[in-house]
Amino acid sequence: MPDPIYDVIAIGNAIVDVMAPCEDVEIAALGLAKGGMTLVDTARAKELYDAMGPAREISGGSAANTLAGLAALGAKCAFIGQVADDQLGEVFAHDIRAGGIAFDTAARAGDPPTARCLIFVTPDGQRTMNTFLGASQFLPAQALDENAIAAASVLYLEGYLWDPEEPRKAMRRAIAAARNAGRKVAFTLSDAFVISRHGDDFRALIADGQIDILFANEHELAALTGLDDFQAGLMQLAANVPTVVVTRSEHGAHAVSGGEHAHVPAQPIDKVVDTTGAGDLFAAGFLFGHVRGRPLEDCLTLGAICAAEVISHYGARPEADLNMLVAANVG
């Protein structure tokens, strides 16, 4: 097996986040499910945008955010995702390349436009996401560079992208390409709604030994396993997945890998400004530790540090120098 060129290659939605603060009463008035992610069509996206206050645009997308964190820590990364040939597509492509991440998926001509996520952020820092998938859901299997996938230590897949048909096919092909090359496959469950629609697929992949590293939060863990007991759910997954990582927001995170259990508390922060990207950046820190061969508890601590940084400001991409934060906390 040749040495990998990339530490992590990821397939995910190519999304620009459109973010604005709002009050809790507005969340209720707009009929939004606070804290969740909802897919919206063109008409609903327009309705919500019209109701939104002055906003800012910051590149997002779950797996892309994770790569932004990994690249900021010094990992070599590549991204596969579909933008349209429009201004928001240029914004997304600029931001990911400017972060030092290889991105070669050709922009898609014509409608629909580049994906955007309308994010309402309440005073408690909680984000409520409304995603217009646009071009992102048309990632074709042909867009995969199987040589690049075979050349990455880890293939990282975003559960959100399992929902649309074309990218799901592409991701199945990518898993086969990675496994044939002897690489690891990491998967994040993303959201309970994805599990409600595709839980059987995920359970089959896990039972079949296709997933090496699985990321979930405690709600996704319960939804996937059907077990309300946290430890029981964790152990059920750990029986079939070499490395399982489960985050519990302010209660920290747990991992089970090769029979070893580890737990870390959440990192203290002054104020939660915007939780968008917390799970994505946790995965970034953990994966960075993993590909660098760090002890399991260090991997969790790296995840907690990166998550704490991203929730201390608006936007799901890191702003502070993650390397300095890590050096100060983990060494």
| Distance of alpha carbon 135 from alpha carbon 81, whole angstroms | 9
According to the binding rule CB under 8 A, does residue 54 interact with a copy of itself?
yes
CB of 213 to a copy of itself, least distance (A): 26
Residue among 233, 178, 183, 213 nearest 299 (CA): 213
According to the binding rule CB under 8 A, does residue 34 interact with a copy of itself?
no
According to the binding rule CB under 8 A, does residue 56 interact with a copy of itself?
yes
Residue 179's CB is within 10 A of a number of other CB atoms, namely 17
Q: Retrieve residue 232's tokens.
A: 């029981």
CB of 168 to a copy of itself, least distance (A): 28
The residue type at 280: D
CB 233 within 8 A of CB 225: yes
Contacts of 137 (CB under 8 A, 6+ apart): 82, 115, 163, 164, 166, 167
Interactions with a copy of itself, residue window 109-138 (CB under 8 A): 113
Query: Which member of 39, 47, 49, 199 binds a copy of itself (CB under 8 A)?
Result: 49
Binding mask 251-270 for a copy of itself (x = CB under 8 A): --------------------
CA distance readout (Å), 258 to 15, 235, 242, 255, 295: 35, 12, 6, 10, 12
CA distance readout (Å), 331 to 7, 55, 198, 285: 20, 38, 40, 14
Query: Which member of 11, 73, 82, 86 binds a copy of itself (CB under 8 A)?
Result: 86
According to the binding rule CB under 8 A, does residue 59 interact with a copy of itself?
yes
According to the binding rule CB under 8 A, does residue 91 interact with a copy of itself?
yes
CB of 42 to a copy of itself, least distance (A): 13
Question: Which region, judged by CB under 8 A, interacts with a copy of itself, from 86-94, 139-147, 191-199, 300-308?
Answer: 86-94
Applying CB under 8 A, the residues found at the interface with a copy of itself are 20-21, 49-50, 52-59, 68, 86-88, 91, 94-96, 98-99, 113, 315, 317, 319
